A and B are shown apart, each in its own frame.
Chain A
Amino acid sequence: MKQNNRVIKRNRHFRPKECIFLVLKLAILGIFAVTTLAPFLWVLLSSFKTNSEIYGQPFSLPHQYQIDAFLQAWKGGGLSQSLINSLFYCAMAVMLVLILSSMTSYRFAKIRPSKALYAFFSFGLLIPLHAVLIPLNVLYSRIGLGNTRTALIIAYAVSNLSMSIFILTAFMRNLPDELLQAAEIDGCSGFQAFARVGLPLSKPALATAGMLAFVNCWNDLLLGMTICSKANLHTISLAVYNLRASFSDDYNVLTAGITIMIIPAVIVYTLFQEQVIQGMTAGAIKG
């Protein structure tokens, strides 16, 4: 692909008409990029301003960068507790879903394929969360898991399980059998071949599936809202949502809250961009 591009560029002669078109195209793309980023920039800038500044000059730079709003959202808005909660839920759910799905995918790809069972797990891809939300909550309270961290972590893991198995099985099918067989000949048990050879080779797919699960859990509102309603268990989404009730006119606190919530997602996106994009579009784009 890259080579092809180079060939075309070399063959193409410089023409002013094309140059104008290129500038035009870049301008249109640039405008859309600005409309994509502008709201976030407004939030970021507003979080450092005072309220009267936001209302009076909504688009100006802060006269003086203040972090009062962050402190207020952090302490008064309960974002400190819910940020830790959400990080914990996400980390545990991602770990759980990766452990479960990597084992099951390895079985489908390398030990004993089963079309029927694989189709059964894939069925989960078609089910909207909404259809299972109410009975899931009923089930949790019946088995004594109502309003617990465990319940939410399980719900996050299970809701990402099908997709994760889909991503990992597709990847593991392409792992070379020879390497895994060689490991077993060298005295590894079946499990050791999986843990020492299969898993390390599957790192790219694990990253993709893990990133997808993280983004889904971090951004979830509905599951967190219905499963963990006790204040000390709130997710970050619910805390930011609740900020609006307690700080309805304090735009700087609200924008600070949004900023706090967005930062982890943006950091993850900046560091693992390709994995995040691959994970989120895995259902559409194969490979």
Chain B
Amino acid sequence: MKTALPAIGKSSRKRRETVLVMAFTLPSLVLFVMFMIVPIFGAMYLSLTKWSGAGAIKFIGIDNYTNLLHNRDFWISFKNSLILIALHLIFQLTLALFFSYLLYRTRPGMRFFRSVFFLPSVISATAIGVMFSLLFNADLGPINYTLHKIGLDSWALPWLSNKTTVLFVVSFIIIWQFIGYHVVIILAGMKAIPEEIIESAIIDGANTVVLFFRVVYPLIKDMLQVSIIFMVTGCLKAFDHSYVMTMGGPGVSSSFLAVFMYKQAYSRQKLGLGSAAGLVILLLAFICTRIINWIFYHKDEESVT
């Protein structure tokens, strides 16, 4: 290697580098294209067809999409997903902000509480789903047991088979599981605020509430933006909890878009319609991300002027 003549050395070095670049890129690229990019195009194609998984694939144009627009179950799942997003923004965001600020202002125990709060995010949604379906079971579950014990018999509802309660129970379990996740993200934003800014605000007489709204909040906007994007896209992908606890039921009362997609494709063998629903999820995730970025961008503009 070292004995090669400079002129040859240069071109062979270049050639060897190219070989290395290829060897380092191609394996990832091939797998990524084959099992991520090709399937997206596959989904686009399938969404224009009628196919049960076996037999001939029939091309039907945009019929699947018009079918979705007239599908009652799709709209209920869509509405449920929107409710899930709204509940996340109302409860998960508020609680995550509250607890991260509380942690930020409470130095002792910060690391301990942070790791405890994050724990459920690491645990499988399947396990959490089964766990809460036991806890909320109408006859055997400890929650109704307790309600009966303290005399609130009328409160002991069949949580997961009641059409009005089921969506909220499933939603709040998802919210509960990932509060700690957002606490960690927002807390990281708060910790990045220079100490001097906080100190001088306190010296100027800012109390905890004023400090939050006037000093901390404007400085963690970037992190909030990320948190909100994760919340919304996470909601659009919500599947495990609902599927494990209720299979989206009773009927479709706790079905979300991803549950609808799965059921169309794998319980009803409508691969075309399922693919169309999958692409709708993809599209909504893009649109929501753009909207959130736009809102935060415009807020910044306003605060400047």
Residues of A within 8 A of B (CB): 1, 4-5, 8, 22, 25-26, 28-29, 32-33, 35-37, 39-40, 42-43, 54-55, 58-59, 100-101, 103-104, 106-107, 111-112, 117, 121, 124, 126-136, 138-139, 154-155, 157-159, 161-162, 165, 187, 189-191, 194, 215, 218-219, 221-222, 226, 237, 240-241, 243-244, 249, 251, 254-255, 257-258, 261-262, 265-266, 268-269, 273, 276-277, 280-281, 283-285
Contacts and interface: CB of A to CB of B under 8 A. Distances in A.
A127 B244 contact: no
B102 interface: yes
A37 B116 CA distance: 8
B210 interface: no
Contacts of A158: 31-32, 35-36
A111 B20 contact: yes
Contacts of A25: 102, 105-106
Given A25-B105, A284-B226, A221 B185 contact: no
Interface of B: 1-2, 16-17, 20-21, 23-25, 27-29, 31-32, 34-36, 38-43, 45-46, 53, 99, 102-103, 105-109, 113, 115-127, 130-135, 140, 142, 145-146, 176, 180-181, 184-185, 188, 191, 195, 199, 223, 226-227, 230, 233, 236-237, 239-240, 243-244, 258, 261-262, 265-266, 271, 274-275, 278-279, 281-282, 285-286, 289
Nearest to B106: A25
B124 A241 contact: no
B43 A124 contact: no
Contacts, number: 254
Contacts of A237: 124, 126
B239 A130 contact: yes
Contacts of B108: 22, 26
A120 B121 CA distance: 29
A190 B20 contact: yes
A281 B184 contact: yes
A130 B113 contact: no
Q: Is the interface of A mostly helix, strand, loop or mixed?
A: helix
A58 B149 CA distance: 12
A42 B142 contact: yes
B109 to A, nearest CB: 6
